[in-house]
Amino acid sequence: MVSSSNVSLVGHVDCAGGGQVWVDGHTLFVGHMSPPFGTSIHDVSDPRHPRLLAEIPMPRGWHSHKVRARGGLMLVNHERQGSEGAAEFGGGLGIYDVADPANPRLICKWPTPGKGVHRFDFDGRFAYLSASAEGFVGNIVVILDLDRPDRPQEVGRWWMAGQWQAGGEDSLAQDAVPPRCHHPLRMGERLHVSYWHHGFFILDVSDLSAPRALGHAGSQPGFAHPTHTCLPFPQMLKGRRVMVVADEDVAKRHPAPPAFAWIYDITDERFPIPIATWQVAGLDPDGAPQPPLTGCHQPSERLAGTVIPFAWFAQGLRLVDIADPFAPREVGHFLPDPPAGADRVSSNDVTIDDRGLIYLVDRIRGVDILETSAL
């Protein structure tokens, strides 16, 4: 049964399950988890009656579950899923003209060797990718200049020491979990990069051709979960620069209770300091291990005020106010019914639009369009 507080359902998109949702103007972009579903584009000018505009399929063995759009340009990842499918399709980044969102046009594909692109950020000109690269163990940070979308140019890259196996660095491939850039996010002259089971890094990207590490922190090996997203907050809170760090409730190093979110003080970027954590009330009563996809996953990468919408896997949407970063508190939630055939929900990603509407995608099926007075 649906459970909610301070959140109400406005509309629903019945579509294949998704990995990411993004809104540009009144156009909703959904990156789907599994082929043949790749990317779908919807008109949400009337959020109570969303309307499908276009679909871009993906071949078996590949998926494009991440999507960003801005100024008539849409980027989607191409990443191998499993071991099946035609190798010639290849990993990389699909670059589309969506000036007419009902008629997306492929401009070009920026290819990668290996598995392809995972998550990424896009500021309208530069894309900041988690990408596989020749000679490297695991994904690294790659920065693309899309000033000419038909001719993307790599302008910078960064990796954790030990990843460049072909360059003679000491390989970290024998680590229990090899290093892997998961998700870069830019704010100002900084790139905040989650590095899965190797914590996170704060990079100085004032010179995009030469990113430079300023600080590093991580919860390993004491905590089992990988670092999924590092979301810097745009304004000072209680006189401090803060960053929300979401661990993902998958790929646990050892049996563990559900993953949660951290608040870090990054006022001194050289020494990030954890100052608070937040978990859904009652989700971890005794520290007992729980199945994956129970706890934390992903905060909205768009913000309005101090309330952060979170996709909390089986706990649905959680609205967390960090006005006091030392004492985060929930100010609303929405837990939908499980999709048909599923035992529970799997809220995978969330974003907001310029009207303050919230878009919550389930990795099994569907997007809920929500409103709240909390934002």
pLDDT above 80 (res 220): no
Q: What is the pLDDT of residue 117?
A: 98
Distance separating alpha carbons of residues 290 and 260, to the nearest angstrom: 13
pLDDT above 80 (res 232): yes
User: Picking from 80-89, 170-179, 232-241, which range would have the lowest pLDDT averaged per residue?
Assistant: 170-179
126-135 pLDDT, tens per residue?
999 999 999 9
Distance separating alpha carbons of residues 287 and 256, to the nearest angstrom: 7
Flag whether 58 is in a domain. Answer: no
147-166 pLDDT, tens per residue?
999 999 999 999 999 999 99
Determine the structural domain holding residue 133 and report its residue range: 3-16+110-372
Q: What is the pLDDT of residue 172?
A: 66
Distance separating alpha carbons of residues 290 and 312, to the nearest angstrom: 14
Q: What is the pLDDT of residue 129?
A: 98
Instruction: Establish how many alpha carbons lie within 13 A of residue 37's alpha carbon, considering only the half-sphere containing its beta carbon.
Output: 20
Q: What is the pLDDT of residue 82?
A: 85
Q: The domain spanning residue 145 has which CATH number? A: 2.130.10.10
Q: What is the pLDDT of residue 171?
A: 67
Q: What is the mean pLDDT of the chain?
A: 96
162-180 pLDDT, tens per residue?
999 999 988 665 667 889 9
Task: Please compute the mean of the pLDDT values over residues 251-273 and round it to a whole number.
Answer: 96
Flag whether 65 is in a domain. Answer: no
pLDDT above 70 (res 55): yes
Flag whether 49 is in a domain. Answer: no
Phi-psi region of 69 (alpha: psi -120 to 50; beta: other; left: phi over 0): beta
Query: What's the total number of domains in the chain?
Result: 1
Tokens (6 digits) for 67 = 């999507």
Flag whether 90 is in a domain. Answer: no
Flag whether 167 is in a domain. Answer: yes
Q: What is the pLDDT of residue 230?
A: 98
pLDDT above 70 (res 44): yes
Flag whether 37 is in a domain. Answer: no
Flag whether 79 is in a domain. Answer: no
Task: Please compute the mean of the pLDDT values over residues 295-315 and round it to a whole number.
Answer: 97
Q: What is the pLDDT of residue 175?
A: 67
pLDDT above 90 (res 258): yes
Instruction: Examine residue 309 and say whether the peptide bond preceding it is cis (omega within 30 degrees of 0).
Output: no
